[in-house]
Amino acid sequence: MGDPLADCSARLQEQERQIRTLSAEIESLKNPRALEPSPQLASLKEENAKLKYRLNTLKRSLQADPAPGSRAMLNINQRLQQVFEDAIRAACPQVADPPLAVTPGRDPKFGDYQCNSAMALGQMLKARGEKVTPREIAQKILENLPENELIEKTEIAGPGFINIHIRKPFVSKLLTNLLLNGVQPPPLPVRKKVIVDFSSPNIAKEMHVGHLRSTIIGDSMCRLFEFLGYEVVRLNHVGDWGTQFGMLIAHLQDKFPDYVTSSPPIGDLQAFYKESKKRFDEEEDFKKRAYRCVVRLQSKEPEIIKAWTLICDVSRAEFQRVYDCLQVKLIERGESFYQEMMKAVVEELKQKGVLELDEGRHIVFVPGQSIPLTVVKSDGGFTYDTSDLAAIHQRIFQERADIIIYVTDSGQSTHFQLVFAAARMLGWYDPLTTRVEHAGFGVVLGEDKKKFKTRSGDTVRLMDLLDEGLKRSMDKLKDKERDKVLTPEELTQAQRSVAYGCIKYADLSHNRINDYVFSFDKMLDDRGNTAAYLLYALTRIRSISRLASLDGGALAAAAASTPILLDHDKEWKLGKCILRFPEVLNKILEDLFLHGLCDYLYELATTFTEFYDSCYCVEKDRQTGEVVKVNMWRMLLCEATATVMAKGFDILGITPVSRM
């Protein structure tokens, strides 16, 4: 794994070359559309836009260094990158865009961090006809290393690796800062606005496991951005507008004729939907009336709007139960919100001359994409494409968002690529300054690796799933006889925290691109990389300070006066691991892969266990069990671990408990 900036630059260059070749090929053919523009080109362009944006932000984030004496946690890796960039530029001024690769070392024998740039530089110089070995380059880099507070010593190993040993007193000071200030993010040079479009179920339809994934992943992304100081708008783009409302309203009129005056008791909207669909398919008159209802809805007839609102309210209450359980906050701004704007967008497309007529539909082709967007159907209605065009327009021009992220299953990736490409074609945004991204994810599978279903083959209702999680988590706690130790309140708290924490963590800890197998047994296992394990780990760490009778005040006082010693190998390993937190978050900011945080927290927990197994924190008398000695600097290491872990949980949306 290399340095993101270097990776990004290299991929960008390679892609631009490919795009040039492909574009030239297409240019040379007179009518590109007739020849089906290559989907390869399209996805390359999409990927390319993302890379360009990332390269830009990476470059900028490298410059945004917390001021000296800042309360923010220092990103050690980033700081080392800067130091080495200066050294590399001075050592090889002839290379305009030198590769920068500083990574945490795998084996402490070879230093704490490693710089692997000399090998790549060797290749580059060789290509320019300069004869110099990577070891010589490494030597030259070291000669040009600027003065810095971080590096203790360096050595060249093998073909030209540079092993970097960092200064213990400096790391110790960073840990003290962390304890005194808490986990502070680096200050943002300018406050940026992020829109995360997530969850987004459809009215009158079941909110399914795909929406659960979107809810969990989207919420965690929001939490990350919020922690880092961004202005975050959490949008629930619910499907609340469309032809299905015609039949729902027509059916409502028949079943509850006085719905305008007294609210109809629709308990089961699913069943209601099925009934109306059946009638729609079977009764010709009903179908006609349903269509008329759509038109009447779109022209905002009060009586029809009333019916529509009633139906939305029933769904909304149902969705809210899920959000309340998971403690997820969202602003509902469904498709209907964009109704007027859709007209304006269609008008703009017409004005710009990109609208084409195709068998009564109005479509738009975008460069590099073989399928068009359908913006007006032959019956005059708008589509999912139209509402997303209007939404992106609104988000860019009215919200003035700097970053827009869509969290849905990967099945919708073509749809979003089309929408983004259209927005760029129309000049709505420049990918170099506005980041627009579809964060797709795989499907949820059952333990049989087939589509997630109930035993009887129905879709699983989310509330049932969450309730089952609660039940299973309680069973687990009772198995361990925790009900005998905890107060009833503590027990329910632990139950909820484990159940919902595990469901979230199981989702977040897998690479979101992959399909993921939903298994209560696996997620509730308290061994391995699960929320149950991490929740236990955190309560255990916290219980160490209880053992030593230290409260927050005593720890804070100790932090201010006790230097944190890092002489033991395991202390040193833990100290460095704790301080990698900002590096981990920074990476997620770039790739939106939250499993990086889960992996890190798991590593932190296991590193802590190694430390705790070999370093006494609290020494007790063997006979009496009385505490005879508290090794305060180690208590501080425990506290620093707990602080970072708790912050990590917070970003993942997991609620820690003090006892479980």
Query: Is 116 strand, coil or helix?
Result: coil
CB nearest ligand ARG: which residue? 200
Structure tokens at 274: 């099925």
Count of residues binding ligand ARG (CB under 6 A)?
10
d(CA 253, CA 248): 9
Element at 163 (helix H, strand E): strand 161-166
CA angle 184–435–382, rounded 5-degree value: 130
Least distance CB 516 / ligand ARG (angstroms): 18
Q: Which is nearer to ligand ARG, 117 or 236 (CB)?
A: 236
Please report whether residue 197 would count as binding ligand ARG according to CB under 6 A. Answer: yes
Paired strand residues for 165? 153
240 binds ligand ARG (CB under 6 A): no
By CB under 6 A, residue 404 contacts ligand ARG: no
Dihedral of the CA atoms 487, 488, 489, 490 (nearest 10)? Answer: 50
* 206 vs 639, beta carbon nearer ligand ARG: 206
Q: Residue 212 or 635: which CB sits closer to ligand ARG?
A: 212
434 binds ligand ARG (CB under 6 A): no
Are 633 and 172 in contact, with CB atoms under 8 Å apart?
no
427: amino acid identity, one letter: G
The number of beta carbons lying within 10 Å of the beta carbon of residue 479 is: 9
Residue 207 or 314 with smaller CB distance to ligand ARG: 207
Q: Which stretch binds ligand ARG (CB under 6 A): 176-184, 193-201, 445-453, 564-572?
A: 193-201
200 binds ligand ARG (CB under 6 A): yes
Could you give the CA distance from residue 391 to residue 394 in angstroms, rounded to a whole number?
A: 5
Of 45, 213, 237, 580, which one interacts with ligand ARG (CB under 6 A)?
Answer: 237
Of 391, 535, 574, 651, the one binding ligand ARG (CB under 6 A) is 391
Q: Which of 38, 103, 144, 202 binds ligand ARG (CB under 6 A)?
A: 202
Member of 111, 185, 239, 469 binding ligand ARG (CB under 6 A): 239
**Binding span for ligand ARG by CB under 6 A among 120-128, 199-207, 368-376, 643-651:** 199-207
* Per-residue contact flags (x/-) with ligand ARG for residues 148 to 187, judged by CB under 6 A: ----------------------------------------
Burial class (CB in 10 A: 0-12, 13-18, 19+), 201: buried
Q: How far apart are CA 268 and CA 273, in angstroms?
A: 9
Alpha-carbon gap, residue 105 to 195, rounded angstroms? 36
Beta sheet of 113-115, edge-to-edge order: 102-104, 113-115, 161-166, 151-157
Question: CB 32 → ligand ARG: shortest distance, Å?
Answer: 28
Mind giving me the DSSP string for 389-420? HHHHHHHHHTS--SEEEEEEEGGGHHHHHHHH
Least CB distance to ligand ARG at residue 323 (A):
15
CB atoms near residue 607 (< 10 Å)? 18
Q: 406 or 633: whose CB is closer to ligand ARG?
A: 406
Is 395 a residue that touches ligand ARG (CB under 6 A)?
no
What does the alpha-carbon distance between residue 563 and residue 328 come to, in Å, rounded to a whole number?
40
Determine which residue in the list 406, 420, 452, 533 makes contact with ligand ARG, applying CB under 6 A. 406
What's the distance, Cα to Cα, between the start and end of the chain in Å?
Answer: 38
For residues 314 and 304, what is the distance between their CA atoms, to the nearest angstrom? Answer: 16
| Candidate list 57, 116, 369, 408; residue touching ligand ARG; CB under 6 A | 408
Q: Does 388 help bind ligand ARG (rule: CB under 6 A)?
A: yes
The residues that touch ligand ARG, with contacts defined as CB under 6 A, are 197, 200-202, 237, 239, 388, 391, 406, 408
